[in-house]
Each structure stands twice: as C-alpha cells, then as structure tokens.
Amino acid sequence: MTADNAALAPVLAQAKVNLSLHITGRRDDGYHLLDSLVAFADMGDHLTLTPGDALSIEVTGPFASGVPNDARNLVWQAAEGAGWTGHIKLAKNLPHGAGIGGGSSDAAAVLNVLSAQGIEAPEGLALSLGADVPVCVRGRATRMRGIGEDLSEVELPQLHALLVNPGVHVPTGAVFAGLTCRNNAPMPDKLPTFKGPADCAAWLSEQRNDLELPAIQTAPVVDRVLSDLRATADALMARMSGSGATCFALYPTKKAAHMAAYDLGTEQAEWWCYAATLS
C-alpha cells in the first residue's frame, strides 16, 4: 500500500442525543420546524477511510445487519457528494433507526475526515443529506432550530447518561404523522447557565420531546423503557431521543450511570444499554 492510498486515521461517529425536541411548526414544503438541545456521547460508530479508485463500503459490528453498503447509505452519499472515492469500513456499534443519529453521524464523520484532508464538501451538502447531519458535523452541544440549519453553540456541564434501546424500530414517518399539534412552544429564547448535572436535568425536565407520545403510540415498549429508566437509582430525569426508540436518563455521577446500566441490563438482557458521557 502506497502513501497515497494509505488508510486515514479511524474516526468516531458520536451518538447524538436530543435532550429536548420541540416541534414548532411545519413549512409549506412539509419540512417540520424544531427547537432542540442536542448533545453528543463519547461513544458511537467507527469509520476508516482508505482512498482508492472506486467507492465501496464494508459494514461490520454488532448492528451491521440491514445496513446498506451501497448508494442508499448516507456514508456513500456524503463521500460521493464531496467527490471522494475509496473504501469505507463502517463499524456499526449503534442501533440504526434509533433516534440517536447513527446514519447522520456516520455521514458527518466522513465529511469531517475529508475536510481535515482539504476536501471540502459543497455548501449545503450536509443539510441535503438530512436534518441531523449539520449538527453532527459540529459534534458538540448545540441548539438546533429551523429544519436543522440554524445552529448555535451552547455550554452544558458534562452529563452522565444511560442510553437504552429496546430493539424496536420506530418509523420516523409514522411518528411525525401521529403528532396532534405541529405548532408547539419553543424553548425559552435564552437558555440558563447550568451549575452542574442536577441543575441541567431539572431544567430539562421542564422541556419536552414532542415526538415521545406518538412514538409510544407506535411502539408501546418506549413507555416501558422510560418507566424503567425513571425507576433506576439516582435517575434525575428520563426522555426519549429524536423519534425513538432510544431513551436516556441522566445521573449525578458517572458511577451512578454505570450502576444503572448494570442493573437495567441485568433485568432486560435483550435491550441495548450503554452508559455514556454527553457534552
């Protein structure tokens, strides 16, 4: 292997968590408007890019099953849109279609790797790939508004979380179709300054995920996940992320989050449980 086609350094595609998700309207073209506080976990999928003459994808990992390895994959579309060719090895550690930005974060990771190599994607490519891709390109705590294009950085304390997915795919279209109101109140114009995890969790408890109820109606197990998370020791609050089915709870310490992961993982061995730090 020559230097020209040596593999680039592996990159982490972080899991995205919607700490809040307010649906504030819908445009004439059908796109929903939102106001969401987003944070990113210290875990996720892994990608390795190796330059070459043709584009190809190899998918491995515990959640590789069902992930396309062709032009249907956002990773492919990101690379192609940026004009790059080569082999992409994608290790899927995150459940897909789970409301934690797996595909969007993977695509964002490709764009970030290529940007670091001096290959800049055309303006607007990230948003054209999906509403979550621009915020995943940032990869840090952000307030996301509009259809995903209005991004502003926010300061959050380090948050200790337990992410849980019950292994049920919740169709995004069905969740949005189940909304009874699409013109809900946004978050306050000015977000508070948080002193620590408990302070942040208390404020988040006053916010919402407007997709939670229609997701529960589509997949009732989501309600069971939320109930079990709230029952774990030291849980500060619990909520669904994105359009589901992954839910999360926040804890005062990393140890508390890991203890909750052990306890809930023992009780629900078929669920995906992962303690993570969000920032």
Catalytic-residue membership of 132:
yes
d(CA 176, CA 172): 6
Amino acid in the structure at residue 62: P
DSSP 3-state assignment of 231? coil
Question: Is 16 part of the annotated catalytic residue set?
Answer: yes
Distance CA 16, CA 247 (A): 12
| Closest by CA position to 108, among listed 163, 44, 30, 21 | 44
Is residue 27 packed enough to be buried (19+ CB in 10 Å), middle (13-18) or exposed (0-12)?
A: exposed
Q: Rounded to the nearest 5°, which phi and psi values hold at 142? A: -150, 145
Catalytic residue, candidates 16, 92, 106, 210: 16
User: Which residues contact residue 206 at a Cβ distance below 8 angstroms, ignoring those fewer than 6 apart?
Assistant: none
Please pick, among 35, 45, 132, 210, the residue that the annotation labels catalytic.
Answer: 132
Active site residues: 16, 132
